[in-house]
Structure 1
């Protein structure tokens, strides 16, 4: 099966030389399609010093269909839903924008970069995006508070 081979290869690469601030493991050794990602909040962001658990689910049609990325750790961010799902809105993960040549490491680096530089025009939480645009210091204050409260 091509997808399993590719996933195993990408997992090995990510385990051996993970991108900065990102650590990857299988959620269950018997299932290549569910990953647990430990992501550190980037420096100079209100999430700095926080460690977030991110779930990455790969479809069986990977790499022809994109993975889904969601935050298991609650996070105050315009591009992550504020519910128990913690779904992350990433342009590159939309079915119409996904490219089979994209790699999981790029997805994770993009997700971490989004913590440092939210995209309020692509928000799933309109109220937070509004606050990010109009009252940045309050946004950062609340984001830091949530990070202290929820991220280990």
Structure 2
């Protein structure tokens, strides 16, 4: 299993998914990755640099990785409780498949910054605002991006 993780890490560092830089949090631990994800152009997060932690369980790829935003973000699919847990369908134990790759998980996470999934929200208030008052949602998301994710 470590061989699989090392291969995926090598693939992700040599040819990272669009708008990302990936490295180990600690060179001694292949189970903790840090990702710096650029907010996609055309989104409320454009210009931001968001740090995420990818934690791979000991029995990866048979169990899904855990994704947490360590940079605060105003988003319906990311918890605002300080943990920054990300709600992503393919990361649920019942939907995760061992052939899935971390690069694909990260690409899906970045895609959620372009198109939040309001049907699968952790932060329902933010999801409701996204659906009912997109301008207010985008203003707050841009404000948070500027406050927490610029120049880090």
The residue number in structure 2 matching 1:108 is 106
Indicate the RMSD between aligned Cα atoms, in angstroms.
0.4
Give distance in 1, aligned partners of 2:92 and 2:18: 25
Matched residue SS, 2:136: helix
TM-score by length of 1: 0.98
Which aligned runs of 4 or more in structure 1 are off by greater than 2 angstroms? none
After superposition, the C-alpha distances for 1:52-78 in whole angstroms (9 at most, x for unaligned) are 000000000000000000000000000
Tell me the secondary structure at the aligned position of residue 56 of structure 1: strand
SS of the equivalent of 2:63 reads coil
Q: Runs of 5+ in structure 1 lacking a partner?
A: none
TM-score by length of 2: 0.98
Aligned: 1:37 with 2:35: yes
- Structure 2: any 5+ residue segments left out of the alignment? none
Equivalenced residue count is 150
- Residues 36-93 of structure 1 show CA distances to partners (whole Å, capped at 9, x for unaligned) of 0000001110000000000000000000000000000000000000111000000000
Of 78, 87, 97, the match for 1:99? 97
